[in-house]
Amino acid sequence: MNRLLLLTLLPASMYVLFVISVDQSVSPQQAMTPRELRNQERIEKLDPRPLPTHQGPRVSDRFPDILLTDQYGKEHRFVSDLVRDHTVCLVLFFTECTGTCPGTTQVMKRLREAARNEFPTDEIRFVSITLDPDIDDPNILLHYAESRGLGPQDGLADWYFLTGEFSELEQLRRALGLYDLDPEIDADRSEHASLITFGNDRHNRWASMPAGLGFDDLNETLCRICGNSQRQRFEMALKEGRMVEDNTETNDAQSQTAGDTAACCEEQLSAEQFTQN
């Protein structure tokens, strides 16, 4: 709301101030650029209904269902208790790491905070698995989490800091594809890759991204890979103007059929593609 001030001279040499209000406010749609308007229209066309559960073999079928112990001393099976029919955001780390681990943990913290706006807290889990089980027992893991403000918080997803038997952790690491092809480098835990793995077991979608990417890219990947509807998968990218090609329109049949795609980045990762080298 802008105001125009008019000063009028009256015969009695009295000045009277008239205030004329001119409404120059604009609607959110009028404030948008043509591209933003197109993207908003595309968002509205995306189906917000939950996609059907994937039927058939899953990537997680290839993961060993090893026994893990969290920071509170509670035991969990990796697949049965943590992964099956859930969304996970997972990293490998160790508490004495002074390289990339502290930064990766902070990125995970931000993703956890952002996830509250996209996923129900009982649907998504954050998982940090130690590479050094000889040192990282539950007490060490609990101190690590609490000293960084990573404990339970209202409105935030659970975060599991996990340890286990070294040989079984190695089996899991390799099944996740988080290893180096050079055996000498792979044996040095200080050289481990700083990757964040996103997985939605219900829809059989998995991807790993370098933790050093920009936070917006990682958060968008979390929604793109783990989103439970077409709208959730693409809304953030469209709002940020990252998608140029208009490939997001789908008909009702496509949005209700597992495996159908709405864009090139919708391609499903099959169990056969997620293999060890």
Find how far residue 258's CA is from the centre of its chain: 21
Q: Tell whether the model's pLDDT for residue 245 goes beyond 60.
A: no
pLDDT of amino acid 193: 83
| Cα–Cα separations (whole angstroms), residue 100 to 25, 144, 148 | 48, 15, 16
Structure-block tokens of residue 96: 């004495």
Q: Tell whether the model's pLDDT for residue 167 goes beyond 70.
A: yes
Q: Tell whether the model's pLDDT for residue 258 goes beyond 70.
A: no
Q: Tell whether the model's pLDDT for residue 104 goes beyond 80.
A: yes
Region 23-39 average pLDDT? 63
Q: Which helix (H) or strand (E) holds 215?
A: helix 215-226
| Cα–Cα separations (whole angstroms), residue 80 to 18, 61, 77, 86 | 74, 10, 5, 10
- Which carries the bigger pLDDT value, residue 254 or residue 62? 62
Domains delineated in the chain: 2-38 (no CATH), 59-266 (3.40.30.10)
| Under 8 Å between Cβ of 230 and 43 | no
